[in-house]
Amino acid sequence: DDERESFNALFLNEARAAGGLSHPHIVTVFDAGISDERAYIAMELLKGRDLRQLRQEGWRATPAQAALIIRRVADALAFAHSKGVIHRDIKPANIFMVGRTQPRVLDFGIARVAHRQDSGDPHSGAGSPYYMAPEQVRREPTDRRADVFSLGVVLYELLTDTKPFHGESLKQITDAVVHH
């Protein structure tokens, strides 16, 4: 029961965070709630695949496509940030592609409304470890810069077709992207 309540709260948080965001590159959430003790969410039907799936199927973005995708996701995140929402789990699986250049940001499940987030937030370290900003890994308070860091990792992967090692510094990653 405790786990279900926790899951339902996280799920409804996703719906509230995404539901208040109307942007062409953020999935539209129509409704969410609890029915018979189960959480539900109704969102726009998207046709396509997420970046993770596309990459697994062998699709590789050209540098121009990568730049366009990242710019559009950055625009979506800037809009969310302007509304006080930090995504905190940007990764290829949460960037759904309708076509090859029309991204939709998904899964605001661990997003926190920025003005409510404090250093005692038990979810401050939540996210996908590979893409997390250093402050998230250290369970320190996060802000919009965590999303920017994660989006930079996604850009690196799109441009180089490799994942950086966890030990590499942001400067090493930036240098590698510039040289590609």
Q: Which of 50, 89, 107, 147 is catalytic?
A: 89
Three-class DSSP category at 103 = strand
- The DSSP result for 156-170, as a single string, is HHHHHSSPPPTT--H
Structure tokens at 154: 């996604």
36 CB-near residues (< 8 Å, 6+ apart): none
What values do phi and psi take at 35, rounded to 5? Answer: -135, 125
- Token duo for residue 8: 């339902």
Query: Is 89 one of the annotated active-site residues of the chain?
Result: yes
Angle among Cα 123, 140, 6 to the nearest 5 degrees reads 10
Contact 61, 69 (CB under 8 A): yes
Catalytically active residues, by annotation: 89
